[in-house]
Structures are given as structure tokens and as C-alpha cells.
Structure 1
Amino acid sequence: MPHTSKLFLILLCCAANAAAQSETRQQPEALRASVADFLALQTAGLPGKVSVTVGAVDPRLNLPACPAPQAFLAPGSRAWGKTTVGVRCTAPSPWTMYIQASVAVQADYIASAVPLAQGQAIEAGQLVSLRGDLAALPAGIATDIGQVLGRSANVSLPAGTPLRLDTLRSKAVVQQGQLVRMVSSGAGFRVSAEARAIGNASEGQVVQVRTPAGQQISGVARAGGLVEVAF
């Protein structure tokens, strides 16, 4: 019995020491949870279904416990695909570490159903909706057909190409040779007159027009064949 009691006391002491160390050391699972919550917040506005996978944290990690660890994106990282998230502690003991993670975004995106010719206005029958991981595709992929209709490709594209918005031209609201209504405005006045467009322009783009007197003026193209000129 004396030996049994002594062994029991040793085990009890070891358990107490382990518990004390656990309270003073930062728990790896708490760090992984902090990263997962951070990425879920960062991707809350993305379309489709988002899934976050956080990499393992070395169980031998020996950092002081932090009551409020703060997650942040490492320089050059983004909140989807394969990424790196930093976690820092400011008090009571400052430290910083980095954890690998992966964010997949399963959503519909728009691709060409047939080859698209450069400069040709895109129609609904030329498009197809596919589903995949947006994080594995280039940035700026169209996710709604309305983002693409009426626009044109900067270069010819083969069938099956995911459509990037930065490679598409907006539909022209003013076309070369078109008779437009030029509206001039300034402090206390507004004058309109007819002019002829010298080039093509999408909504909000700058376009040059020529007045009946032959003067060339730059303005901002608007829908309905309007060109705004400010003085």
C-alpha cells in the first residue's frame, strides 16, 4: 500500500504539471481554428460553396499561450487557393507564426461554348455555364452571363475558354461615324448640340467627336448616343 500511494502521488503530480504546461503553452488546434475562422470571414462574399482546409501545426510547438491570437494574410498571399496565413500575439508574450491553408470555391463560371472571334459581340448561344473551383482559375472570371453578353473578346478564343472580364471589351454605346448629342455643361449653363463620333467608346470611356464646324472635342460616352463634355 505505501508503494501504491507513492505511485499514485507521482502520477497525480505529473498530471498536474502537464495540465499547468498545457495552460501556459499555446494549443495548436486553437491556432488552426483561428485561421479557419479568418478565412471563412475573408471569403464570405464569394459566390458558390467555399471550403477551407487548414494545414497541420507542429505539436511540438512551444509558444506562450495567447488569449486573443490575431490572424492575418501574409504579404503576397490571397484568401483563396493555396495560401499562407499569419497568426500573431501581442500580449502577454509577442510572437508570430505562419500556417499553410487551402481555400476552394466551387461555383458556376462562364466559358465560351464555341470559338469567339476577336471584336465580335458575344451572344447567349455562344456561352456555356460550367462549375469548378474558381480558386484554380485566373482572377476575374465571369460568374454571370450578364457580365459577358454584348461584350467582345480582345483576342480570338477557342471553345471552352473561361472568360476573364479584363480580356473583354464592353459594348460600344458610341460608334465611329455615329451622329451623337454632345452635351456641354459648366457653372450655371448646359448646352447641347449635334456632333459626329470619331471613334468607338464604351460607357464611361473618353471619345472624340467632330462638330459641324470641324472642331474636335473630347467627351465621355454615355448610353443613348450622348457625349458629355465638361468645361
Structure 2
Amino acid sequence: MKKLLMLCLLLLQSIVADAAGTMPAQSHQQISKLVATFVQQQTSSLAGKVDYQIEDLDPRISLTPCAKLETFLPGGSQLIGKTSIGVRCAEQNGWQILVPVRIRITLALLVSTRQLPVGHTLQDQDIARQSIEISRPDGYTDANQIIGKVLRYSIAAGQILRDDMLRPPYSVTQGQIVQTMTRGKGFSIRGEGVAMNNASEGQTVQVRVSSGRTVSGAARNGIVEIPP
């Protein structure tokens, strides 16, 4: 009886092992297709040419088949460069996996045509378009966005023009004699003073008026508007 019981247990273990060995696994190809569709949809509105390469999953990874697959962008990931796209099974006792992807974005970005000094105001002849594979989502494609802006520091020829390099021109400069204006309901008071700092359009500037008092206002077309 004892031998018969042992034989039954061995047979049962063999059946379970065979079943586990032949159990169908989630198709890696289907996962890759889902990732490809996700990347195409998420990058369709981006300017420039987008290429991507999806890495093959390790063939040793075996996932249970799932009828409810979802794709997502993991927190901290971006749709550029070396990144990962998540795929999860939304069924009970589901699973989750990250698929490595390389996304290349090529844009016709604006670059400097020559070496330019700090404080230089950009003109048409200072910029040109160049097709570049970008590593981060920045840079300019429209010259109208940067013509007339001023360099914060000197740059070399062929350098991509980025937002942190540029500032708006000053509407008021330190030491400049400026007109001040205070407006209220039914009144308007004009005055004069000396600007204590540089300020672009709309920025706050401090002004020392004739009484020696310092007031603050917003730079507007060379005039400092002081609140009542």
C-alpha cells in the first residue's frame, strides 16, 4: 500500500511538471508590437524625424498569457534616448515588465554660425539650421523666437541655441534715468528716478526717486509702472 502511494505521488509530480513545461507563455512578439504602437502614438506629435529600436526580451523570461495588456511610460522616463516602456497584465495576479527602447529624434535646429560674445543681440546672420539628433527635448526650430534676444554668455560656432543661453533685451538698464507712472481710479502721477537694476519687459525694477526713497515697479516700454 505504501509503495502504491509513493508511485501515485511520483506520477502526479510528473504530470504537474509536464503541464508546467508545456504551458503556453505570453508572446514576446506581441509585447514588442504593443511597445512599438505606444512609441508611435506618443511621438506622433513631435517635430522632426523619429526612429526607434526595441530590444528583444530575454528568451528565458516566461510570462503567463494575458488578455488585458497595457502599455505605460514609467515615472522618470522620457520618450527620447535610451529609455524603457512598461507593459503590464491588468488581470488578477498579473505581471509587469519594462522593455528597453532606444528613441532617436532628429530635428533641424538653430545653431550659431560663428563665435558670438556675451551680450550679443542675435540677428538673422548669426543663426543657421542644422539637422541634429537631439539627446534632450530642447533647442529652437523657429528663428522668430530668438531674433532680438541677448546671449547670457559667449558661445562657439555651430552651438545649438538653447533657452538657458538667451534672455530678453533689457527695457531698463541700471543707472538709467527713467520715467515713473502711478495710476489709480481717476488719477495718474508721473515722476522720474534712477533705475537701480537691469530689467527686461515686465520684470521688476527698483527706482530711486528725487526724495531719496526707493520704489519698485514693472518695466513697460522704458517706463516704470509703480502700483498705487
Aligned: 1:58 with 2:58: yes
Give how far 1:157 is off: 0.8
In the TM superposition, what is the alpha-carbon distance from 1:208 to its structure 2 partner?
1.6
2:149 maps to 1:173: no
* Cα deviations by residue, 1:64-92 (Å, 9 ceiling, x for unpaired): 22223222233432111111122222313
SS of equivalent residue, structure 2 residue 32: helix
The residue number in structure 1 matching 2:207 is 209
- The percent of aligned pairs where both chains have the same amino acid is 32
Aligned to 2:142: 144
- Residue 198 of structure 2 is matched in structure 1 by 200
Does the 8 A contact of 1:43 with 1:50 survive in 2?
A: yes
Which one is further off, 195-204 or 122-131? 195-204
Residue 189 (structure 1) shift: 6.8
Q: Give me the TM-score of the superposition, normalised by structure 1.
A: 0.76
Please tell me whether the aligned partners of residues 183 and 190 of structure 1 are also in contact (alpha carbons under 8 angstroms). Answer: no
- RMSD of the alignment, in Å? 2.7
User: 1:191-226, CA deviations, whole angstroms, 9 ceiling, x for partnerless residues?
Assistant: 45244433222233222223343332222333x224
Which sections of structure 1, spanning at least 5 residues, go unmatched?
1-16
Cα distance between partner residues in 2 of 1:127 and 1:176: 29
Number of residue pairs matched? 207
Q: State the one-letter code of the partner of 1:225.
A: G
Amino acid at match of 1:165: D
Amino acid corresponding to residue 89 of structure 1 in structure 2: C
What is the match of residue 13 of structure 1?
none
What is the aligned partner in structure 2 of residue 128 from structure 1? 128
Q: Which letter does structure 2 place at the counterpart of 1:126?
A: D
1:107 aligns with 2:112: no
Deviation at 1:178, TM superposition (A): 4.4
Q: Distance in 1 between matches of 2:55 and 2:214?
A: 61
Aligned to 2:217: 219
Structure showing greater Rg: 2
* Aligned-partner Cα distance in 1 for 2:147–2:64: 56
Question: Partner amino acid for 2:153?
Answer: V
More off after superposition, 60-69 vs 99-108 = 60-69
User: Could you tell me which residue of structure 2 aligns to residue 10 of structure 1?
Assistant: none
Gaps of 5+ in 2: 1-18
Partner AA of 2:154 in structure 1: S
